[in-house]
Amino acid sequence: MISLLVEDNPGVLARISGMFTRRAIN
């Protein structure tokens, strides 16, 4: 399901990665 969202919306990948990085830093 995530792969479909990423294929339709490339921006979603960057958004998800940003959220993970923020949580990792915090």
In the chain, how many domains are there?
1
- The answer to whether residue 1 scores a pLDDT higher than 60 is no
7 to each of 4, 10, 11, 22, 25, how far by Cα in Å? 5, 6, 9, 23, 27
Domain enclosing residue 8, as ranges: 1-26
Residues 15 and 10: their CA atoms lie apart, in Å, by 9
**Nearest to 13, CA basis, from 24, 2, 26:** 2
* Average confidence score pLDDT of the chain: 74
Q: What is the mean pLDDT of residues 7-20?
A: 79
- The answer to whether residue 23 scores a pLDDT higher than 70 is yes
